[in-house]
Chains A and B, each alone.
Chain A
Amino acid sequence: MATNQDTEFQAEFSGTSEGIKTQEMLLNMGPQHPSTHGVLRLIITLEGETITSCTPVIGYLHRGIEKILENRTVMAGIRYMDNSDYLSPMLNETAYAGAVEQEMGIEIPRRAQYIRLITNELQRIASHLVGIGTYGMDLGTTTPIIWAFRDREGILSMFEALSGSRFNVNYMRVGGVLHDLPKGWLDECSTFLDKLEKNMVEMDGLLSGNEIFMSRTQGVGYIDPQQALAYGLTGPMLRASGINWDLRVNRPYMAYREVAVNPIVRQEGDCFARYYVRLQEITESIRLVREGIDKLPGGPISVRTPIALRPPRGETYFAIESSKGELGVYFISDGSEYPWRAKLRGPSFVNLQIVPELLRGHKMSDAIAILGSTDIVLGEVDR
């Protein structure tokens, strides 16, 4: 009560003698807004152009994916994972299939593991490309997004050749993958990677060295390493704050036990660092795909699983390093064909939590820069 009176007192008497007061402005950004990456709604209080408080409102894209998973058999559920983080369906499917395999104690064939590695890394590239491209768009230039989508197009058409679908691939299976690689697919993949590597150099030159881009992003939205840990951030958000944590290294799964990953870590903790970690992870993923192609073993692509797939009674947690961070599936089975519960730990959802704290005190333009640097996908936030 006392503080209220104080602020009122200040508002009334610190201004000019005519009693002109400044007023805070409540601005509703979203759910229909060009740069809230989908249907996020931010309720922002503005003092001039400075943000005094921010409340994100989520749920506009809620489709009840977790509930749908409970009502589908395990194999049928994989398809619904595509729609969770719709920019990286391969990774989502891998997480779900991996959780079921862990529950059932299946060790998938090495060839399937490597195919998963290749597709996962390609998917990571595609997701990061969208992240970088839209980040350029948020900051007011159109070229990066067009270039990024041009490159992403190559990955999507490769997925189409692989699974028959560009977007909702429905490619992973419990115990392996659906198809073997088509003839000539690996050559096409290598050619594409060579081209992509050149294009990424171009993209780096366009954005990273640009003075305006640097002054817009460097030092903006600083996340302290401890703050990052406290908020449970994962993925590029965490690694940009100087914490070396990558599930592919720290808790390797599938083919990552054999393929060494160099995690990209930066110390600055600002928007530029987060952008740059993503850019460098693309290069690292290109290297990983190449290594995967080199090491790709022969043999079966899947273990035989019964048609009526009944995971044993019990629960398990399986997490992979998705493009946004730790994508975990908490899988509880009651022994039937349907999962009793499948809880997703969406990295976007967790990473979004720090946004209100980051925005406070920044300018309104910075709000877009910070939100873009978190690289959230509302499909995964709302699920």
Chain B
Amino acid sequence: MSPCGRLLLLPWSYHMFRMIVADIAANSWFYWLSNLWNGIISWNFLQFVVAFLTIFGFILTSATILVLAERKILAWMQDRYGPLHTGPWGLLQSVADVGKLLLKEDVHVGGADKAMLIFAPAVFMAPVIASFAIMPFSPYIQLPGSALAVGLVFYVAMSSIDVIGVIMAGWGSNNKYSLIGGLRSAAQMISYELPLVLAFVSVIMLTSVLAGRPGFPGQDGIGTLAPYEIQIFQNSAWNHTGIGILDFLFQGFTPWSWFVLFQPLMLLIYYICGLAETNRAPFDLPEAESELVAGYMTEYSGMRWAMFFLGEYGNMTIVSAVASYLFLGGFAGPGVAFLTAQHSLLWGFVGNMLALLYFIIKIYALCAVFIWIRATLVRLRADQLMQFAWLVLMPVTLVNILVTGILYFATSALPTWVFLVVLACVNWAGVFGFVWLVRRVTLSTTRHAQAPAIRAQLRAKPAVPAIALRDGVPSRVALPAGTAASQE
């Protein structure tokens, strides 16, 4: 801000000061203080503070752990060691990195749009933290409030704000690579949001079909958007048997009714869209390091760069968390529901910790797939990326919604399990069909691209002249029959 701008702020701050003084003068000191104090010690506010700190801490810790895990897993897949020398087995590498990043100079580029440059990392990072509001970590550890009831909508809204941060960074950096990266990411993140939401729709349809049926919670025909309740839908297919060990294991943990079994194709598509949303390989075009140096992050350094980095890894975490809630039963695992139902403080605590453990295991298992994919796949091209979203993913998700609805009406007279079994069969067939479709599409596009070569081959023989030897050096050795040279 210019010195002139600071001067302009003076009357405003003076005005605010006068307002506060007037407020205090009008009431008593005690009244003002107690008001403040009541606001702070209110249960909701404290819960919010604790939850925010927990989530923030979780994201930061998770990001550092993921960075290290990524380096170690990549190293393992690539037949090398990875970080070794910082701490035992290189475990402190992330700590050292963060320390370095904190100490680094925060360089501001000349000619940049400074406000954009400075605020972009915050705009990128904040929605990532905010989206965790919908995530229950265990039966008790979750944020109170209405965000939970509209969970998925809130999550989608937050993940769309991300893109604004990226565009701000791309524009504000005054760098051509950044600009291209920012624009690419705008196109990419907006396009992939649609199939992502459509993948959600099928899950929400499933809950509204199941709601109110025998053995499932909820009111007849009314589904849910809240991850917590979606998780309950997946884990309520167990009736009390009275056999202790079975009850302990399967109460609130029924992997045979997880939505991944009924909608595997949607999990696949959601995961692909999640890759694109988080700008991870093979969809890392916005920061394509071999083309755009570092894309929208090119001009950032120090902690601002680290915020983008943390945001990316936080995004990875939340995509995995949502996937685990929607398709893999969330925090459910053996013992969780049984122990929390004991109504004792100790067992309730143990149950919650178990739930947290299962949840984190599921998140990191999905994150490991992210890393595995990064080690394996090459990057897509921008137009192929768009083509894939609009011509493959969108139709497939739309057809899936249609098929789910048609199957529901076709089997509405029959018991629920018939519908579920048919849906599962159709969807698993859909997975293989999807793989076939992708392969077919790839083949046809590459054939199309190879058309000039194929045409040239068809008219090749007379067109390409045989190469004459340049002088009389005895050239060709006798080759065994059938080798490549003797065909020519």
Q: Are B450 and A268 in contact (CB under 8 A)?
A: yes
Query: Which residues of B (453-488) have their CB < 8 Å from a CB of A?
Result: 453, 456-457, 460, 463-465, 467, 469-470, 473, 475-480, 483-485, 488
Number of contacting residues on A, CB 8 A?
Answer: 62
The residue that B484 contacts in the complex, of A33, A207, A264, with Cβ under 8 A, is A264
A60-81 residues with Cβ-Cβ distance < 8 A to B are none
Can you list 21 A-B pairs, Cβ within 8 angstroms, ordered by A?
A34-B293, A49-B383, A139-B290, A141-B377, A142-B78, A142-B374, A212-B377, A212-B379, A212-B442, A216-B378, A218-B449, A219-B447, A219-B450, A222-B450, A222-B453, A242-B457, A251-B470, A251-B473, A261-B485, A268-B450, A363-B383
Q: A218-B446, A265-B488, A365-B285 are in contact. Are A142 and B477 (CB under 8 A)?
A: no
State whether A147 touches B470 (Cβ < 8 A): no
Cβ-based interface call for A57 (8 A):
no
B439 at interface, CB cutoff 8 A: yes
Question: Which residue of B is nearest A267, CB measured?
Answer: B457
- Would you call B288 and A140 a contact (CB within 8 A)? yes
**Apart from A140-B288, A244-B485, A261-B485, 9 more pairs, CB < 8 Å:** A140-B281, A141-B376, A212-B379, A219-B451, A222-B450, A251-B473, A363-B382, A365-B288, A366-B381
B100 CB-CB contact with A under 8 Å: no
Complexed CA–CA distance, A140 and B385 (Å)? 14
Whether A243 and B467, one on each chain, are in contact in the complex, defined by CB atoms closer than 8 angstroms, is yes
B384 interfacial contact with A, CB 8 Å: yes
B79 and A365 within 8 A (CB)? no
- CB <8 Å contact, B381 and A363: yes
Interchain Cβ contacts within 8 Å, total number: 172
Size of the chain B interface, CB-CB below 8 angstroms: 61
Q: A41: shortest Cβ distance to chain B, in Å?
A: 14
Taken together as a complex, chains A and B put the C-alpha atoms of A249 and B476 apart, in Å, by 6
Nearest residue (CB) in A for B291 is A368
In contact, A27 and B456 (Cβ under 8 angstroms): no
Residue A191 is within 8 A (CB to CB) of chain B in the complex: no
Q: Which residues of A contact B293 (CB under 8 A)?
A: 33-34
Rounded to whole angstroms, the CA-CA distance of A228 and B89 in the bound complex is 52
Whether B80 is near chain A, meaning CB under 8 Å from some CB there, is yes
In the complex, whether B193 has a CB less than 8 A from a CB of chain A is no
Selected from A27, A215, A261, the residue in CB contact (under 8 A) with B445 is A215
Least CB distance from A102 to B in Å reads 11
When the two chains form their complex, are residues A35 and B291 in contact, meaning their CB atoms are under 8 A apart?
A: yes
Smallest beta-carbon distance A266→chain B, Å = 10
- Residues of B near A256 (CB, < 8 A) are 477
A136 to B379, CA, bound (A): 9
| Complex contact A140–B450 (CB within 8 A) | no
10 nearest CB pairs, A to B: A219-B449, A140-B379, A218-B446, A219-B450, A146-B78, A35-B290, A139-B378, A244-B488, A211-B442, A365-B381
Chain B residue with Cβ nearest A26: B176
- Distance in Å from the Cβ of B291 to the closest Cβ of chain A? 5
B448 at the interface (CB under 8 A from A): yes
What residues of A have a CB within 8 angstroms of the CB of B123 in the complex?
A: none
Nearest B-chain residue to A36, judged by Cβ: B290
A361 interface contact, C-beta 8 A = no
A212 surroundings in chain B (CB, below 8 A): 282, 377-380, 442
Of residues 234 to 289 in B, which have CB atoms within 8 Å of A's CB atoms? Answer: 281-282, 284-285, 288-289
Q: Name the B residues within 8 Å of A206 (CB-CB).
A: 376
A364 contacts the other chain (Cβ, under 8 Å)?
yes
Residues of chain A lying within 8 A (CB to CB) of residue B383: 49, 363
For A38, the chain B residues whose CB sits under 8 A away are none
Q: How far is the CB of A374 from chain B (nearest CB, A)?
A: 15
| Complex: A196 Cα to B409 Cα, angstroms | 59
Contacts of A366 in B (CB 8 A): 381
User: Looking across the interface, which residue of chain A has its beta carbon closest to that of B292?
Assistant: A364
Interface residue A10 (Cβ < 8 Å from any Cβ of B): no
Residue of A25, A137, A215, A244 touching B384 (CB-CB under 8 A): A215
Residues of chain A lying within 8 A (CB to CB) of residue B74: 142-143
The distance in angstroms between the C-alpha atoms of A226 and B80, with both chains bound, is: 44
Contact residues of A between 330 and 383, Cβ < 8 Å to B: 363-368
Chain A 201-232 residues near chain B, CB threshold 8 A: 206-207, 210-216, 218-220, 222, 224-226, 229
A139 touches B379 (CB 8 A): yes
